[in-house]
Amino acid sequence: MFDFTAVLITGAILGAAITLLVSWLRSKNIGLKWYEWLMSLVGLALVIMAIQHFMGSQIEMYMTAGWFGALAMGIPALILFVIVWRLVAVRQKAS
């Protein structure tokens, strides 16, 4: 079950964030390797799942589960984003 407003707001925020990020990458002339795109997409999927789980747990009224799940999916997402950032940063520095 989805709370339509929450989905709309989450989608708008994520959409804006991704648009800004891609624009920034283009402005800096930074290209991503295929595996960096893959890791980013997996990370993004995990973030979306973490948000959905957290909101779903509110509906289920199991908030401990909501926090645990959000952390369980959010932390790996964060790790993936950091790895991608470091890979890009190292490559940029080398070039």
Partner 1 sequence: MHSFHSTVSRRDFMKTLGLAGAGIGAAAAVSPVFHDLDEVTASPTAGWKRAWFVKEVDEPTLEIDWNQIHRMDRRGQPGRDVMAGRSDGYYSYYLEIEEFVKREFPDWKGTTLRDRALNEAWYSTWMGTQTVRTPAPTPDQLSGNTSIGPMPKWQGTPEENLRTIRAAFRSFGVSSVTVAPVDEKTRKLFYSYVGKQKVTFEDIDLFESTTDRFAIPNNCQWVIHWTNLQDTELTSRMPSHVGRAGFPMAYTHVKRIDLLIEQFLRGLGYQSINAGNYCPSAAFGIMTGVGEHTRMGTTLNSPEYGSHLRGQYRVVTDLPLAVTKPIDAGMERFCETCGVCGTQCPFGAIAMGDKSWDNACGQDWAADQSVGGDTCMWNIPGYNGWRLDYRKCMGNCCSCMGACPFGTAGASLIHEVVKGTMSVTPVFNSFFRSMSETFNYGHKEPESWWDLPLEQIPAYGVNPALLVK
- Contact positions vs partner 1 (CB under 8 A): 1, 25-27, 29, 31-34, 37, 49, 52-53, 55-57, 59-62, 64-66, 68-69
Q: Alpha-carbon distance 20 to 9, whole Å?
A: 16
Tokens of 19: 């648009």
- Helical residues (DSSP H) of 1-95, grouped into ranges: 4-27, 34-60, 63-94
Place of tokens 């402005």: 27
Closest distance of CB 56 from partner 1, Å: 3
Residue type, 5: T
For partner 1, which is the closer residue by CB, 12 or 71? 71
Closest distance of CB 15 from partner 1, Å: 18
For partner 1, which is the closer residue by CB, 43 or 57? 57
For partner 1, which is the closer residue by CB, 7 or 17? 7
Residue 92's alpha-carbon distances to 32, 34, 88, in angstroms, are: 11, 16, 6
Closest distance of CB 88 from partner 1, Å: 12
